[in-house]
């Protein structure tokens, strides 16, 4: 029987952002649906733990960690126009990073075939020395470094399907040959990075694979990207572990973006990643929550991801398809450019 782990804990609700779009209702909405649908009972509970200072230092200098801790202990406040800290944010953030590490440990120890870390605050915009874009610590980047250094892996692939480019993750691994970072994102859009020409440098050149999509892309365009770009680069790289920065803000109902992915589209993308993981790394995958700001769309998309990992039938999607009034975007030229940049034929 397929064993899928779930990391979740009320500690993540202590990151109290008030009326901010990245708020605790995102997690309580997901948890409520998983419970009421009976899906949670089919998942292996993976309790989180706080990441240690040494683990955070795999990506972040002590000065950055101390800045976040002091900001929380002094009562919180705004770090920039988008990113807020509350008194409980530091605890939530170290448990978010540590929760993803526990998921990695469970998968690599074969306690679970795959795992989903239902954590917040999110992480992929956090650079080594800067919190930004709702993110304090870069959970997935820390997990990738942890897998390389603590578990001795030689190749880790990160798939980032959040609608925003993971500038922080890219910065961490821009010259790292052991990490392949793939991102598909709405472009040009926050944070402004993620052009095709951003390929990596030195020994990591070619390991940054960016597919900057125009607004209006939905399931057909995303599935093309996963079949024509993600699949061949993964087949060539042969990862030993796949980490997914799982943001669900490319859903058509999300208020922060202009994409048109459906719940079924996320299930199909998960299925492609699952197939690649089975081909190259004994099915070892860890998903970590990033964005997604329509709570209903987010909850049902996470549910569909977990159902796909479990290999069970998808539940009905109450949101359905978007209403289209314009032609589908043509991404032929973009895919040709990406394939040429990465020698994909």
Q: Note the pLDDT tens digit of each residue in 200-236.
A: 999 999 999 999 999 999 999 999 999 999 999 999 9
156-177 pLDDT tens trace? 999 999 999 999 999 999 999 9
- State the Cα–Cα distance between residues 92 and 12, nearest whole angstrom: 5
Among residues 321, 306, 311, 319, the alpha carbon closest in space to that of 37 is found at 306
Give the angle subtended at the CA of 99 by the CAs of 97 and 103, to the nearest 5°: 120
> What six digits make up the tokens of 322?
């978007």
Tell me what the pLDDT averaged over the chain comes to: 98
With a CB cutoff of 8 Å and minimum separation 6, the contacts of 250 are: 161, 162, 163, 186, 217, 222, 257, 259, 261
Flag whether pLDDT at 46 surpasses 80. Answer: yes
Kindly indicate whether the domain formed by 4-313+329-341 is annotated with CATH number 1.10.10.10: no
Flag whether pLDDT at 330 surpasses 80. Answer: yes
Whether pTM exceeds 0.85: yes
- Predicted local confidence at residue 19, as pLDDT: 95
Which residue out of 125, 165, 251, 342 is catalytically annotated? 125
171 neighbors 160 (Cβ within 8 angstroms): no
End-to-end CA distance of the chain: 39
73-99 pLDDT tens trace? 999 999 999 999 999 999 999 999 999
Confidence of residue 1 (pLDDT cuts 50, 70, 90): confident
- Predicted local confidence at residue 100, as pLDDT: 99
Is the sign of the CA dihedral 79, 83, 85, 86 positive or negative?
positive
Flag whether pLDDT at 335 surpasses 80. Answer: yes
Percent of the chain residues past pLDDT 90, beyond the cut: 99
* Strand, helix or coil for residue 101: helix
60 is catalytic: no
Provide the residue ranges of all domains of the chain, joining segments of one domain with +: 4-313+329-341
């Amino acid at each position: 029987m397929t064993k899928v782990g779930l990391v979740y804990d009320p500690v993540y609700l202590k990151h109290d952002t008030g009326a901010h779009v990245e708020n605790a209702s995102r997690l309580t909405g997901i948890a409520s649906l998983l419970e009421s649908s009976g899906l949670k009972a089919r998942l292996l509970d993976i309790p989180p733990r706080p990441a240690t200072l040494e683990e955070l230092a795999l990506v972040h200098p002590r000065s950055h960690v101390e800045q976040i801790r002091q900001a929380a202990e002094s009562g919180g406040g705004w770090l920039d126009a988008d990113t807020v800290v509350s008194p409980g944010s530091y605890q939530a953030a170290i448990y978010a990073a540590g929760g993803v590490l526990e998921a990695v440990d469970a998968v690599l120890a074969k306690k679970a075939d795959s795992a989903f870390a239902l954590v917040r605050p999110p992480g992929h915009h956090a650079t080594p020395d800067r919190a930004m874009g709702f993110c304090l610590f870069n959970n997935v980047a820390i997990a990738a470094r942890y897998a390389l250094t603590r578990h001795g892996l030689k190749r880790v692939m990160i798939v980032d399907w959040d609608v925003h480019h993971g500038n922080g993750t890219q910065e961490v691994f821009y010259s790292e040959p052991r990490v392949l970072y793939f991102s598909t994102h709405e472009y040009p859009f926050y944070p402004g990075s993620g052009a095709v020409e951003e390929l990596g440098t030195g020994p990591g050149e070619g390991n940054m694979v960016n597919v900057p999509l125009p607004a209006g892309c939905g399931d057909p365009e995303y599935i093309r990207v996963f079949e024509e770009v993600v699949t061949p680069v993964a087949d060539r790289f042969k990862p030993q572990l796949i980490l997914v920065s799982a943001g669900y803000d490319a859903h058509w109902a999300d208020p922060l973006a202009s994409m048109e992915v459906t719940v079924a589209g996320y299930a199909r993308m998960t299925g492609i990643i699952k197939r690649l993981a089975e081909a190259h790394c004994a099915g070892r995958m860890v998903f970590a929550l990033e964005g997604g700001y329509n709570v209903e769309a987010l909850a049902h998309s996470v549910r569909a991801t977990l159902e796909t990992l479990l290999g069970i039938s998808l539940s009905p999607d109450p949101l359905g398809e978007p209403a289209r009034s314009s032609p589908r975007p043509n991404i032929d030229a973009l895919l040709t450019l990406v394939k040429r940049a990465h020698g994909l034929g």
